[in-house]
Structure 1
Amino acid sequence: MTGHVVLPAPTKVKAHPFMVWGERVEPDGDPRILEYPNGAKSAIPRLTPALVERLENPPTDLAETPLQEIVAYLNRIGHLWNNEEYARRRLYVRELKRMHGYSQQMADAEADLISATLRAHAQLHDMVAVELGHRQIMDRWIPREDAEVRAYPRGRSVHILPGNVPYSTTVSLIRALLTKNTSVLKYAAGEPATAVALAQSFTDLDPTHPVTRSVSAVFWERDSELGRQLLGSADVICAWGGAEAVNAAYRNCSSEAIVVPYGPRRSFTVVGKDADMARATRGIAHDASMYEQRACFSTHQVFTDAEPEEFADLLQKELERYEEMLPRTSVTADEAAQAAMEVAAQQFLGQRVRTGSWGSILIADPAGVSELPSARTVFVHPVADLAEVSQWVDPTVQTIGLAPWSLHEQLRHELARRGACRFVEAGLSPFFRLGGSHDGLQPLQMMTRMVAVEAPRLNYGKGMVVPIDQSEFLEHRRLRDLLM
């Protein structure tokens, strides 16, 4: 078996607080115990009616806080995280290793990514400009043809966060803050570290700042009635993860609420025989190693018209290189079993299989693949013509990596028409570019209300040569004269 099944962790139970609008809520005499796949445990508070009432009534809102102040505050938090001696960062790295079995390199990379994202002040302003039309639209009225428009927050956002990619918490929270929504971060049972660490780092800098007072990090069980109440009172729900998480958001939201769904999705790579194979296989190894293929953007399959054994030789060398550069995160017993079963199934079918401590490569017909395991398991699918790839694309496909990059010109229209959301050069799947979409959405648009002040009667309007007087139009049948 190629995956690393973790050894039991120390049985000591660590206490983790909730963060409620900038204040710590410690586990009481009857804490909820979270147990992680490697055996580590944490004691957390239980959600109570009193806590729900507090969560439904934020002490502040961000509507009157200038966007530049929100971005500047995030930048200052990011500089804290950029310091490897910052206590909150050091504890976070330690917790990723304890809870998830992350290697030191992977845990450091996650903390570095949080820091870089928070410090990207220019890009955060640009995100608003790209998705909402103007970087100042959250703060003032922007002229737009015959109207002035301004974006307003929807109100209180609830985030159902995933356990597979810690960085998703940072992304989800930043989108809420840029649109001035208050945030209740409902972390996954297997990943409390990021939401709590971010909320605590806000209090480290300024416990009274509006950003600090607009963020909470809590947990509730899937079948919790109090959790359903919080979802039902939310103005916008960001639902990450599997179908159950997304469906729960739709089931429990109010009729006025907006649900922003992220997942479940799958991703793959297409490699042409004329690609720079060294660069292509290195990129695929990266896309299959980050988060051990647990992310929606992770590459699991490679379709190629190149000679498959030669391609697999190169890919194996790069996966071996990544085993040293980014040591593997411990996998759960279920993940290890799923990967082992798929390897055995493909061997039984007579497919060509290579496996080792670096992962697995299975050269197989895509029609014979029943599961897409994690643990750096990559399927190589030989095809006579790259146009055949289209039959394996549907709306569950998120990201398609390409090598050489010129392939996007011949493939993107048909693959997009069939459901693909995103095209990147092989090796860039985990890196989301400014201006791109997320699962086919522009999330900031869904997290705001666009309000318009339209021009008065005496403004003729674009393309018109008469005042807009509706009564006169009706009385004298002048609707035909609107455009002259």
Structure 2
Amino acid sequence: MNSLAEMKTEGAEAIVSAPFFLLGKVVEGSDQTHRSRDLGVTFATPTIDMNAAVHPRTQVPPLLNVPTSEIIDFLVETGERIRDPKNEIFQDCIDRMCAQHILPREVVANQAMYATAMLDKRRLMAELEQNFPDPRALDEWVPKQDFTGRKSFVRAFAPRLIHVLPGNSPGVAVKSIAHGALVKGVNLFKMSSSDPFTTVAILRTMAAIDPEHPIVKSMSAVYWRGGDERTESILMRPQYFDRIVGWGGGDAINNLIKYTGPGLQLVSFDPKTSISMVGKEAFASDETLALAADLASQDVMTLNQEACVASRFQFVEGTEEQVDRFSAELHKRIAERAAASGDVRPLDMDLKEQIDVLSMMDDEFRVWGKTDGKGIVIRSDEPVDFHPINKTANVVRVASLDDAVKYINVATQTVGFYPFDRMPDYRDRLASGGAQRIVHLGEAGPSTIGNPHDAMYALHRFVHWMVHEDGVEVK
């Protein structure tokens, strides 16, 4: 891979190179140029070799008969190599990411390193044990017999997966590679224009450990512009793949749906919005108010509010005077976290204009902070009709948390809750509304290892469940 100093320039603009990885081989090239989603930075890629990107169905997947224990050991070693400060592959990857990512370098680097915590033996084992009642099905044909005496064998057969990755977190690349390896799949990763680097860097690190390892031979990573029908109509076919694993916004997921049909299913991690619910107990004292506001700010600022688990709406139970006190304290904490992260990028112009209008409507809204990217809080009696992002919090005053339940829907992912002892009173109603996860306020980011994600056990859905019926035992 060329160093940053050797990258092409086009006029005054540097063109960042983004190589591909195809079933064990690094492919360099600058045949095509693209623009990143967030910053509009130009990057160059090779042309996709369609034949090299597809593993023939006439050949069994390379990982099929590799013991799961060996796969886990290799993933653990990969995590160690990524964290090694001498890993030039990954350091160069972070340089390239920072050339076109909206988050500051320190945040990007920390997220990439933090994500490798997923490559831990205990964690990987827990993922398997929670997803599969009998993980042996990944390694062998498990014998079954029903009450009539009919015998069969069942196997969680290695799938062929296209992963359409998001660009908001390098952690998804680590997680997707680990999951693709655990189910012994043949994996094609479609990278995001915001991050066409991390996935290849992880795979190149794997290849540096053992270029002939079946995991390495099972992985490919390329980039094409989402919605490019010329590319997608060729690759997204059931003769090549079993599942499309889609991450992204509504438009991206709707685009993938049109390629699904018999033999090609969509496993969708679609757009989600996370919220906070803060009960009147937060106003018991100045100390509890400060605690609740600080916990809420942690959830707002998860990955600087770029992650799906980051809170965007805070439903607070109290009088207008109480909720205004909470809003002021929340703004103070968000601004402190923003300054500490170094992320003070300005708000999108459309969002800025909408908030500026609200600032002039004192009878319905109150605003703390400025639209300068340093943190802002909007207090209202109903949720605003835009998507709060980039350190923007919408505090919604409710007379009772019961009134907040009506705003829950199937797009509600995580609900951060305070006080903690009231959570059991609301979890059934939140689930009925469509929410997928309720946590202590301040803990939107961490999650219990092996739990469902987006209301499903994903690995269980990835695999191709194959049955060998062996008839009734004759006695």
Q: Deviations over 1:91-136 (max 9, x none)?
A: 2222232211432331222122232112x11111111111111333
Q: Distance in 1 between matches of 2:143 and 2:328?
A: 58
Q: Deviations over 1:130-160 (max 9, x none)?
A: 1111333311344667366544235310011
Q: 2:3 is matched with which residue?
A: none
Structure-to-structure mapping, 1:372-387, within 5 angstroms: 372-387=387-402
Q: 2:221 is matched with which residue?
A: 217
Given that residues 38 and 102 in structure 2 are in contact (C-alpha distance below 8 angstroms), is that contact kept between their aligned partners in structure 1?
no
Q: 1:239 is matched with which residue?
A: 246
Q: 1:106 is matched with which residue?
A: 107
Q: Which of 354, 357, 367 is matched with 1:353 structurally?
A: 367
Structure-to-structure mapping, 1:249-328, within 5 angstroms: 249-275=256-282, 276-306=288-318, 307-328=322-343
Q: Which of 354, 365, 389 is matched with 2:381 structurally?
A: 365
Give 4+ residue runs of structure 1 displaced > 6 Å after superposition: none
TM-score by length of 2: 0.87
Displacement of 1:54 in angstroms is 1.6
Given that residues 10 and 40 in structure 1 are in contact (C-alpha distance below 8 angstroms), is that contact kept between their aligned partners in structure 2?
no
Q: 1:13 is matched with which residue?
A: 15
Q: Distance in 2 between matches of 1:447 and 1:259?
A: 10
Are 1:229 and 2:234 matched, yes or no?
A: yes
Displacement of 1:81 in angstroms is 1.4
Given that residues 123 and 434 in structure 1 are in contact (C-alpha distance below 8 angstroms), is that contact kept between their aligned partners in structure 2?
yes
Q: Which of 175, 196, 201 is matched with 1:197 structurally?
A: 201
Given that residues 154 and 235 in structure 1 are in contact (C-alpha distance below 8 angstroms), is that contact kept between their aligned partners in structure 2?
no
Q: Distance in 1 between matches of 2:367 and 2:177?
A: 42
Given that residues 288 and 378 in structure 1 are in contact (C-alpha distance below 8 angstroms), is that contact kept between their aligned partners in structure 2?
yes
Which residue identity does 1:33 align to in structure 2? H
List alignment gaps of at least 5 residues for structure 1.
1-8, 460-466, 468-484
Q: Which of 47, 53, 56 is matched with 1:55 structurally?
A: 53
Displacement of 1:178 in angstroms is 1.0
Displacement of 1:411 in angstroms is 0.7
Q: Distance in 1 between matches of 2:470 and 2:37?
A: 58
Displacement of 1:454 in angstroms is 6.6
Displacement of 1:85 in angstroms is 3.0
Displacement of 1:325 in angstroms is 3.2
Displacement of 1:10 in angstroms is 6.5
Q: Deviations over 1:151-185 (max 9, x none)?
A: 42353100111122232222222222111111100
Check 1:314–1:452 CA distance in 2 against 1; reply closer, same or farther (3 A cut): same
Q: Distance in 2 between matches of 1:43 and 1:329?
A: 28
Of the structure 1 ranges 282-291 and 231-240, higher mean CA displacement relative to structure 2 is found in 282-291
Given that residues 402 and 426 in structure 1 are in contact (C-alpha distance below 8 angstroms), is that contact kept between their aligned partners in structure 2?
yes
Q: 2:348 is matched with which residue?
A: 336
Q: Distance in 1 between matches of 2:312 and 2:460?
A: 31
The number of residue pairs the alignment matches comes to: 443
Alpha-carbon RMSD: 2.4
Displacement of 1:278 in angstroms is 3.3
Given that residues 267 and 400 in structure 1 are in contact (C-alpha distance below 8 angstroms), is that contact kept between their aligned partners in structure 2?
yes
Q: Distance in 2 between matches of 1:13 and 1:35?
A: 11
Are 1:417 and 2:417 matched, yes or no?
A: no
List alignment gaps of at least 5 residues for structure 2.
1-10, 283-287
Given that residues 400 and 420 in structure 1 are in contact (C-alpha distance below 8 angstroms), is that contact kept between their aligned partners in structure 2?
yes
Which residue identity does 1:23 align to in structure 2? K
Q: Percent identity?
A: 23
Which residue identity does 1:53 align to in structure 2? N
Check 1:458–1:57 CA distance in 2 against 1; reply closer, same or farther (3 A cut): closer
Are 1:408 and 2:412 matched, yes or no?
A: no
Given that residues 315 and 398 in structure 2 are in contact (C-alpha distance below 8 angstroms), is that contact kept between their aligned partners in structure 1?
yes
Q: 1:23 is matched with which residue?
A: 25
Q: 1:135 is matched with which residue?
A: 135
Given that residues 125 and 135 in structure 1 are in contact (C-alpha distance below 8 angstroms), is that contact kept between their aligned partners in structure 2?
no
Q: Distance in 1 between matches of 2:344 and 2:163?
A: 26
Displacement of 1:425 in angstroms is 1.3
Looking at CA atoms only, which structure, 1 or 2, has the larger radius of gyration? Answer: 1
Check 1:401–1:349 CA distance in 2 against 1; reply closer, same or farther (3 A cut): same
Q: Distance in 2 between matches of 1:104 and 1:218?
A: 24
Given that residues 360 and 378 in structure 1 are in contact (C-alpha distance below 8 angstroms), is that contact kept between their aligned partners in structure 2?
yes
